Amino acid sequence: MSLDMTQVVTLLDEHHLLTEVTTLNDRQTFSNVTYNSKTVKPGALFFCKGNFKPDYLASAKAAGATAYVSERAYDEGDGMTRIIVNNIQKAMSLLGAAFYDYPQNDLFIIAFTGTKGKTTSSYFTYGIEQIHTHDRVALFSTIDRIVGNAPEDRFKSDLTTPESLDLFRDMRRAVDNGMSHLVMEVSSQAYKKNRVYGLTYDVGIFLNITPDHIGENEHPTFADYLYCKSQLLVNAKTCIINAETDHLAEVYQTAKSTTEPDHIYLYAREGAQLSENVPLDVTFKNVNETLHQSDFEVTGLSEKGKQLQVNGAYELHVPGDYNESNAVSAIMASALAGASSTDAVQALTDVHVPGRMEMVTSADHGTIYIDYAHNYASLKALLSFLRTQTDAGRVIVVLGSTGNKGVSRRQGFGQALSEEADVAILTTDDPGFEDPKKIAEEIDAHIDHQSVQVQYVMNRAEAIQTAIKMSHQDDIVVLAGKGEDNYQKVNGVNTPYATDVTIAKNAVEEL
Ligand SMILES: CC(=O)N[C@H]1[C@@H](OP(=O)(O)OP(=O)(O)OC[C@H]2O[C@@H](n3ccc(=O)[nH]c3=O)[C@H](O)[C@@H]2O)O[C@H](CO)[C@@H](O)[C@@H]1O[C@H](C)C(=O)N[C@@H](C)C(=O)N[C@H](CCC(=O)O)C(=O)O
Ligand SMILES: Nc1ncnc2c1ncn2[C@@H]1O[C@H](COP(=O)(O)OP(=O)(O)OP(=O)(O)O)[C@@H](O)[C@H]1O
């Protein structure tokens, strides 16, 4: 992989990003691109971005970087080629795609956005595409990044949507490993930070939007959050929209601003009250729902909906009514990629999403669910589904809320618990630099004590053991928020944590 000065200047110029360039040598070629001084190789092009310190540039130069791209000049970069741009993130994304020789051109890309359901829908789609493509599909999710079929091609993700240079590097790896399809999650931050600037998707899916990720380091307002999320549709050749989403009118309008209605597909549960009168292409309805699985039927309504050939009965072994909606988005996206409904039926029966609706059973105590729900909308969706599945039993919930971010979630948790839970055991969940007990008290301040019995057990493992021990056979125990995380973020350190699933299994064995 390489990039030369002519390409750099031409690309930046074409996109009106170039402010000034001082070259050492017009024929300079770069064999490495990086935004981290610790990974510089001789001959590197170095990007100065984010919370950058000039010392990093000095280190990059010492390690052999010969040029830097930045929004301002630094004395530490004297003696290097200086490329000054008006938007470093956009410049990095464009040059990253060029350096890795546009791997996106060799991939059919299916991209999901939404406040909730991105990871789940991506895993569902990945499962279908594995069957359809005979294992030639990559996955960039919040949990795993999978760029091939060898064990070393599967690793944990740091971000939901990687930094642009990492994104194009991993796409290149996927293509070189023979992958033909990519399923990816696109966060609103990815648009805010231009991590996907210049990238076009074959299919873009908008799942839903509710207030979240609004705060100091994320989005200043809900309008900004909605704008960033909607950019996925602007950059998709074909759009799929969940017509049950809030703000449907704005979302549909955004899709139509760049995509012909013939390439926009809308789906909803049969009989759902929509906020806007839109032409539905596909509907679905539940046939049978249990704590273990959902059986549902899908029907194409419009001519283009029928052409997807997704009509039929499906069995999903990840419970939750909202997961039927996630599954329908995956079935439609995969159909647009060429998968058959038989591929989808087979995949959805087997699919497993780490940390989402994982179930642990016990002989004489309640059934335990481990789920990543960590805001009002997801906790409400999860608990109200479980509530419909319990008759006489109680809903016992173990949760905390993260420190130093998403502070509004504390009120949301209190509200969802008041609406749907019988017992809340408040505990620790990534407290960061805050006192977890204080966070718990803030959640508690929003709990209705007439309907919910509250306990504080700040050690999360003990909280889980307490919940399981107190449960009776008809009860449901929900361990919310951490999913499959194997660490707790405490005072800036990722402290090892055994995972909710392991702790629950051990607690059941010890009963
Ligand atoms: C606010 C934000 O977007 N921050 C991201 C951003 O940070 P940054 O650019 O300021 O980087 P930094 O780590 O502070 O360091 C500054 C620069 O100095 C460089 N450096 C640093 C040290 C050194 O010795 N040498 C050196 O060169 C770094 O490589 C970097 O380029 O770039 C980093 C990667 O380069 C990200 O890890 C970091 O994400 C933070 C940690 C984060 O968690 N962001 C969240 C909000 C996020 O993006 N979440 C979304 C999901 C949420 C959603 O659903 O919307 C996601 O896509 O994951
Ligand atoms: N369509 C949906 N609507 C509401 N809640 C959902 C939906 N899908 C999943 N959830 C709930 O949200 C939780 C997170 O789901 P998932 O990880 O798929 O979403 P995500 O969009 O990737 O979330 P995040 O941005 O927080 O990583 C699940 O554990 C479940 O409780």
pLDDT digits (tens, 9 = 90+) for 151-172: 999 999 999 999 999 999 999 9
Q: Which ligand 2 atom is at minimum distance from the Cα of 325?
A: 1
Which residue, of 99, 134, 156, is where some domain finishes? Answer: 99
Same domain, 136 and 22: no
Same domain, 94 and 185: no
- Contact present, 190 and 115 (Cβ < 8 Å): no
Same domain, 222 and 323: yes
Residue of the nearest CA to atom 9 in ligand 2?
Answer: 117
119 annotated to a ligand binding site? yes
Nearest to 325 by CA among 275, 284, 272, 373: 284
- Contact present, 166 and 193 (Cβ < 8 Å): no
Same domain, 303 and 225: yes
Alpha carbons 320 and 467: distance in angstroms, whole number:
22
Ligand nearest to the CA of 269: 2
pLDDT of 214 above 80: no
- Residue 389: pLDDT band (50, 70, 90) is confident
Same domain, 203 and 228: yes
Residue of the nearest CA to atom 7 in ligand 2?
Answer: 117
221 annotated to a ligand binding site? no
Which residue, of 75, 99, 123, is where some domain finishes? Answer: 99
Residue of the nearest CA to atom 13 in ligand 1?
Answer: 51
> For the domain that residue 60 is a member of, what is the CATH number?
3.40.1390.10
- What spacing in Å lies between the alpha carbon of 362 and ligand 1's midpoint? 42
326 lines ligand 2 (CB under 6 A): yes
CB neighbour list of residue 498: distance below 8 Å, 6 or more residues apart: 461, 486, 506
pLDDT value of position 2: 92
Ligand nearest to the CA of 326: 2
pLDDT of 211 above 80: no
- Contact present, 413 and 383 (Cβ < 8 Å): no
pLDDT in tens, 262-307: 999 999 999 999 999 999 999 999 999 888 889 999 999 999 999 9
242 lines ligand 2 (CB under 6 A): no
Residue of the nearest CA to atom 5 in ligand 2?
Answer: 378
Q: Which ligand 1 atom is at minimum distance from the Cα of 218?
A: 46
Q: Which helix (H) or strand (E) holds 371?
A: strand 367-371
Q: How many CB atoms lie within 10 A of CB 259?
A: 18
Q: Which two tokens stand for residue 439?
A: 């966070």
Pocket probe mutation, ligand 2, options 185, 378, 409, 429, max atoms within 8 Å of Cβ:
378
Residue of the nearest CA to atom 12 in ligand 2?
Answer: 378
- Contact present, 138 and 42 (Cβ < 8 Å): no
50 lines ligand 1 (CB under 6 A): yes
245 lines ligand 2 (CB under 6 A): no
499: left (phi over 0), alpha (psi -120 to 50) or beta: left
437 annotated to a ligand binding site? no
Q: How many CB atoms lie within 10 A of CB 284?
A: 21
pLDDT value of position 92: 98
Same domain, 237 and 169: yes
Alpha carbons 319 and 492: distance in angstroms, whole number:
35
Considering its fold, how many domains does the chain have in total? 3
pLDDT value of position 145: 97
Q: Which ligand 1 atom is at minimum distance from the Cα of 46?
A: 27
**Does residue 190 fall inside a structural domain?**
yes
Q: Which ligand 2 atom is at minimum distance from the Cα of 123?
A: 18
> For the domain that residue 183 is a member of, what is the CATH number?
3.40.1190.10
Q: 416 in helix, strand or coil? A: helix
pLDDT value of position 27: 85
28 lines ligand 1 (CB under 6 A): no
**Does residue 387 fall inside a structural domain?**
yes
- Full-prediction pTM beyond 0.95? no
46 lines ligand 1 (CB under 6 A): no
Residue of the nearest CA to atom 17 in ligand 2?
Answer: 119
193 lines ligand 1 (CB under 6 A): yes
Same domain, 88 and 51: yes
- What spacing in Å lies between the alpha carbon of 93 and ligand 1's midpoint? 15
Which residue, of 50, 76, 99, is where some domain finishes? Answer: 99
> For the domain that residue 500 is a member of, what is the CATH number?
3.90.190.20
Domain that holds residue 284: 103-348
**Does residue 353 fall inside a structural domain?**
no
pLDDT in tens, 400-441: 999 988 888 999 999 999 999 999 999 999 999 999 999 999
Alpha carbons 83 and 69: distance in angstroms, whole number:
5
Q: How many CB atoms lie within 10 A of CB 315?
A: 14
Same domain, 297 and 436: no
pLDDT in tens, 447-492: 999 999 999 999 999 999 999 999 999 999 999 999 999 999 999 9
CA–CA distances in Å: residue 184 to residues 88, 118, 203: 23, 9, 11
Same domain, 95 and 120: no
Angle formed by the axes of helices 341-350 and 321-336, to 10°?
A: 140
**Does residue 268 fall inside a structural domain?**
yes
Ligand nearest to the CA of 328: 2
Which class for 329: exposed (0-12), middle (13-18), buried (19 or more C-beta within 10 A)? buried
Same domain, 205 and 300: yes
CA–CA distances in Å: residue 100 to residues 58, 109, 127, 386: 26, 17, 27, 46
114 annotated to a ligand binding site? yes
Same domain, 123 and 25: no
Angle formed by the axes of helices 460-470 and 500-509, to 10°?
A: 50
Same domain, 173 and 117: yes
Cα four-point dihedral sign 276, 280, 282, 287: positive
51 lines ligand 1 (CB under 6 A): yes
